[in-house]
């Protein structure tokens, strides 16, 4: 966030912001995830709860139409404000700049804004720039609005496409989200509010007029430089009056190396076919002559589909029956070739080289890991705690390493290899005749154990390539629809990576096992709630990246409270307690089918720390002290100070 002496943070709510623009209780058209709710104009109070949920839990950008009356230019009946969208742009590869670079660019822009001939009413900060408003009295026409928008954009070097009366802008108080770009959320916020409102003539007299030729030149000057970040404007078109499409030469000189064929195909589909056609790329949609039939009147539509980032060519002529085509489809049609040949042609054009030699290196690392686990007894003296934690289940861990070795497909956004596997596939890979078919809970326990020890890792959404992530959520949503349950908690497919088992990693795993042992953690009781209480939120999120809430789950809080109450009652009455006794008590008193030995064990370590207790095996002295009638030596929970007297 930018902080300057000139522009200080201003406390004004989203409700107050919209009241200033639209008026109190006004019906507003909101835009969620690039889709305007065309049939649902509503007050902000009515929409607020839903908008918050969609923004926070569904990663949807939240925008709104600034002017009033409808969702189309000819429906707008009141101009509420003139506004500017200034963006710091993107780098030469079309990627967002780092926050440090953006911060410097923002500072430069604020210096320019300070010299504005007329004070803005609102300055709203987004992740990549600013949106600036000048509130207007009623009476401005759409023609005057368009004229002023061009003057403002030209003066401040802002987005030249922000001229149409039904334009949407980001709503302050909501997150700027780009989950598919691996970027951190940014809260859109109001950093300056001046209670001023203008007549449209005030703005026309403050900003110089700009001719259409100068404005067109300005728009073209933004194409191809680092201002690739100008917002898309799908309501306008780039007109191309040529009667044919020709193949030009690749404007990119730098070689692009891609490490996977499947990703190569996805990458090519995100390339703008305008370059291949020899046209100048535009942030807007492009109207051009269809390459598949004689087309004197341009009838093809080239556009980018924001859901997957692909470019498509769609011909609207009734003489063309080819349908919608990606860049690969286009080349296959033009060259009358198969997919493989089309990909080779595009690789040559865009200067792309396929290099998947990294897979062999990763396989060697996994082979080394396998050898270490096979010989784990040799390392028992160096890592005694780790050996105790995995010594009996090395065959299970080796089966996962072998599976990963066979299924290296892609690299994550951080450069690590990744593989995909469902718990049932892990179970099939074990090939253990004594393993209970369908016992996926055991697999879940062991995967969590390996992740806690750092021997495996689950990947976050931000680390997964866009097309893999989209496919995973599509499958999850399809499964939910098949179950006909709106609130069913169905997780997406899990993505994993496995690090190299270095001396440092093994030592860290040994230290973790030692801490688990000291805390009285049972290996079959590892859970997010347990890790959250013992290690904190950061560790819990690392091991369970798909769980978004930061505290114990609602059900976890409920059962922990019951366990704690039962434990304290037993300590008060008998001086000791046993996990099995707590389970029996809760099952009888609350008739909870979900109360199991394993679930109770999840919360015992945290309660031991909280109440200065210890769980240990009762020796003869302790059995006599508490009159425990048992043939064996059960594990009991007692106060720590008792152990000083009764335990040698």
pLDDT digit string, tens, across residues 174-210? 999 887 667 788 999 999 999 999 999 999 999 999 9
In the prediction, which pLDDT does 592 show?
Answer: 59
pLDDT digit string, tens, across residues 134-183? 999 999 999 999 999 999 999 999 988 888 899 999 999 999 988 766 77
pLDDT digit string, tens, across residues 555-612? 788 888 888 898 899 889 888 988 888 888 888 776 656 677 777 887 888 888 888 8
Same domain (yes/no): 367, 290? no
Same domain (yes/no): 56, 182? yes
Which CATH number goes with the domain that contains 588?
Answer: 1.10.10.10
Q: Which of 610, 628, 611 is nearest to 619 (CA)?
A: 628
pLDDT digit string, tens, across residues 493-547? 889 999 999 999 999 999 999 988 888 887 877 888 888 888 888 888 888 888 8
Same domain (yes/no): 310, 363? no
The residue range of the domain holding 572 is: 554-646
Residue 539 lies in a domain: no
Higher pLDDT among residues 113 and 442, named by residue: 113
In the prediction, which pLDDT does 512 show?
Answer: 93
Distance in angstroms (rounded) separating the CA atoms of residues 113 and 119: 9
Question: Which phi and psi angles does 225 have, rounded to 5°?
Answer: -100, -165
pLDDT digit string, tens, across residues 609-645? 888 888 888 888 888 888 888 788 888 889 887 655 4
What residue has token string 């010299």? 115
Residue 231 lies in a domain: no
Which CATH number goes with the domain that contains 171?
Answer: 3.30.70.1790
DSSP-assigned letters across all residues of 474-501:
HHHHHHHHHHT-TT--PPPPPEEE----
Same domain (yes/no): 147, 244? no
pLDDT digit string, tens, across residues 24-67? 999 999 998 878 887 778 999 999 988 998 888 888 899 999 99
Which CATH number goes with the domain that contains 333?
Answer: 3.90.580.10
- pLDDT over 70 percentage in the chain: 85
Higher pLDDT among residues 474 and 4, named by residue: 474
Same domain (yes/no): 344, 364? no
Could you give the C-alpha distances from 293 to 316, 334, 422, 429, in angstroms and in order? 12, 11, 47, 53
Most distant CA pair in the chain, distance: 101
Distance in angstroms (rounded) separating the CA atoms of residues 384 and 395: 18
Same domain (yes/no): 119, 182? yes
Residue 105 lies in a domain: yes
Average pLDDT, the chain: 82
Residue 549 lies in a domain: no
Report the pLDDT averaged over residues 427-438: 61
Boundary-marking domain end, from 467, 493, 518: 518
Secondary element (H or E) of residue 608: helix 597-610
Residue 537 lies in a domain: no
Distance in angstroms (rounded) separating the CA atoms of residues 283 and 330: 20
Distance in angstroms (rounded) separating the CA atoms of residues 410 and 260: 6
Same domain (yes/no): 560, 628? yes
Could you give the C-alpha distances from 135 to 21, 138, 145, in angstroms and in order? 7, 10, 12
Higher pLDDT among residues 448 and 306, named by residue: 448
In the prediction, which pLDDT does 10 show?
Answer: 52
What's the 3-state SS for 209-268?
A: CCCHHHHHHHHHHHCCCCCCCCCCCCCCEEECCCCCCCCCCCCCCCCEEECCHHHHHHHH
Structural domain total, the chain: 4
What residue has token string 């919360």? 603
Same domain (yes/no): 175, 86? yes
Same domain (yes/no): 343, 365? no
- Mean pLDDT lowest among 111-125, 277-291, 560-574, 628-642: 277-291
Query: What three-state secondary structure class fits 305?
Result: strand
Residue 287 lies in a domain: yes
Q: For residue 234, name the pLDDT band (cuts at 50, 70, 90).
A: very low
Same domain (yes/no): 279, 312? yes
Higher pLDDT among residues 554 and 284, named by residue: 554
DSSP-assigned letters across all residues of 104-148:
HHHHHHHHHHHT-SS--SEEEE-SSEEEEEEEB-TT--HHHHHHH
The pLDDT of residue 82 is above 80 = yes
Distance in angstroms (rounded) separating the CA atoms of residues 498 and 405: 10
In the prediction, which pLDDT does 639 show?
Answer: 87
In the prediction, which pLDDT does 477 show?
Answer: 64
Q: Is 200:79 a contact under the CB 8 Å cutoff? A: yes
- Mean pLDDT lowest among 80-94, 174-188, 421-435, 489-503: 421-435
In the prediction, which pLDDT does 246 show?
Answer: 31
In the prediction, which pLDDT does 90 show?
Answer: 82
Query: What three-state secondary structure class fits 410?
Result: strand
Same domain (yes/no): 76, 172? yes
Residue 409 lies in a domain: yes
In the prediction, which pLDDT does 194 show?
Answer: 92
In the prediction, which pLDDT does 18 show?
Answer: 96
Helix extents (H) in 413-458: 423-430, 440-453
| CA trace torsion 298, 299, 305, 308 (10° rounding) | -100
In the prediction, which pLDDT does 27 show?
Answer: 94
Residue 3 lies in a domain: no
Higher pLDDT among residues 169 and 260, named by residue: 169
pLDDT digit string, tens, across residues 302-329? 888 876 778 888 888 877 877 788 999 9
The partner residues of 300 in beta bridges, in order of sequence, read: 288, 315
Could you give the C-alpha distances from 382 to 282, 535, 563, in angstroms and in order? 61, 24, 38
In the prediction, which pLDDT does 232 show?
Answer: 33
Same domain (yes/no): 364, 349? no
Boundary-marking domain end, from 297, 331, 353: 353
* CB proximity list for 431: less than 8 A, separation 6 or greater: 399
């Amino acid at each position: 966030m930018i902080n300057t002496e000139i522009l200080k943070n201003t406390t004004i709510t989203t409700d107050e912001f919209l009241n200033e623009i639209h008026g109190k209780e006004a019906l507003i058209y909101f835009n969620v995830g690039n889709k305007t709710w065309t049939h649902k104009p509503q007050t902000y109070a009515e929409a607020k709860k839903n908008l918050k949920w969609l923004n926070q839990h569904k990663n949807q950008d939240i925008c709104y139409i600034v002017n009033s009356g409808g969702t189309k230019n000819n429906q707008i009946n009141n101009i509420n404000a003139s506004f500017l969208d200034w963006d710091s742009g993107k780098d030469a590869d079309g990627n967002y700049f780092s926050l440090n670079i953006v911060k410097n660019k923002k500072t430069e822009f604020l210096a320019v804004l300070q010299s504005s001939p007329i004070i803005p009413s609102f300055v709203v900060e987004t992740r990549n720039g600013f949106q600036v408003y000048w509130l207007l009295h009623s009476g401005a026409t759409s023609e005057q609005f368009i004229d002023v928008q061009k003057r403002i954009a030209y003066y401040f070097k802002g987005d030249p496409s922000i001229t149409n009366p039904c334009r949407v802008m980001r709503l302050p108080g909501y997150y700027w989200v780009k989950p598919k770009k691996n970027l951190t959320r940014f809260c859109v916020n109001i950093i300056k509010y001046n209670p001023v409102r203008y007549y449209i003539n005030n703005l026309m007299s403050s900003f110089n007029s700009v001719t259409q030729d100068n404005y067109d030149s300005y728009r073209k000057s933004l194409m191809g430089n680092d201002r690739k970040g100008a917002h898309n404007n799908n309501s306008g078109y780039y007109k191309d009056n040529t009667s044919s499409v020709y193949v030009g030469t690749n404007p990119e000189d730098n070689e692009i190396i891609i490490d996977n064929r499947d990703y190569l195909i996805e990458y090519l589909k995100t390339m703008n076919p305008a370059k291949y056609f020899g046209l100048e790329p535009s942030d807007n949609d492009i109207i051009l002559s269809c390459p598949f039939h004689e087309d004197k009147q341009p009838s093809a539509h080239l556009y980018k589909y924001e859901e997957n980032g692909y470019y498509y060519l769609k011909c609207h002529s009734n003489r063309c029956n080819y349908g919608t085509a990606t860049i690969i489809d286009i080349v296959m049609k033009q060259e009358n070739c198969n997919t493989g040949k089309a990909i080779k042609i595009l690789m040559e054009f865009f200067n792309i080289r396929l290099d998947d030699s990294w897979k062999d290196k990763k396989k060697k690392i996994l082979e080394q890991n396998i050898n270490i686990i096979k010989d784990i007894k040799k390392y028992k003296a160096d890592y005694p705690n780790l050996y105790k934690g995995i010594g009996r289940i090395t065959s299970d861990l080796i089966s996962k390493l072998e599976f990963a070795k066979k299924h290296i497909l892609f690299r994550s956004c951080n450069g690590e290899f990744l593989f995909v596997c469902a718990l049932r596939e892990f179970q099939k890979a074990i090939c253990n005749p004594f393993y209970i078919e369908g016992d996926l809970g055991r697999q879940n326990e062991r995967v969590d154990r390996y992740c806690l020890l750092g021997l495996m890792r689950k990947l976050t959404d931000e680390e997964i390539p866009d097309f893999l992530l989209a496919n995973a959520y599509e499958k999850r949503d399809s499964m939910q629809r098949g179950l006909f349950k709106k609130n069913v908690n169905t997780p997406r497919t899990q993505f994993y990576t496995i690090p190299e088992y270095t001396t440092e990693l093994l030592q860290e795993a040994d230290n973790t096992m030692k801490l688990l042992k000291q805390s009285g953690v049972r290996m079959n009781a590892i859970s997010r709630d347990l890790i959250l209480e013992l290690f904190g939120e950061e560790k819990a999120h690392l091991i369970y990246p798909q769980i978004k809430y930061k505290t114990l789950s609602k059900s976890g809080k409920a059962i922990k409270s019951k366990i704690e109450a039962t434990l304290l009652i037993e300590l008060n009455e008998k001086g000791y307690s046993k996990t099995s006794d707590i389970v029996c008590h809760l099952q009888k008193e609350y008739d909870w089918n979900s109360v199991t030995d394993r679930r109770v064990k999840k919360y015992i370590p945290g309660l031991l720390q909280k109440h200065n207790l210890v769980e240990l095996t009762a020796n003869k002295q302790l059995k006599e002290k508490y009159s425990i009638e048992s043939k064996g030596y059960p594990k009991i929970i007692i106060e720590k100070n008792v152990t000083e007297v009764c335990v040698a």
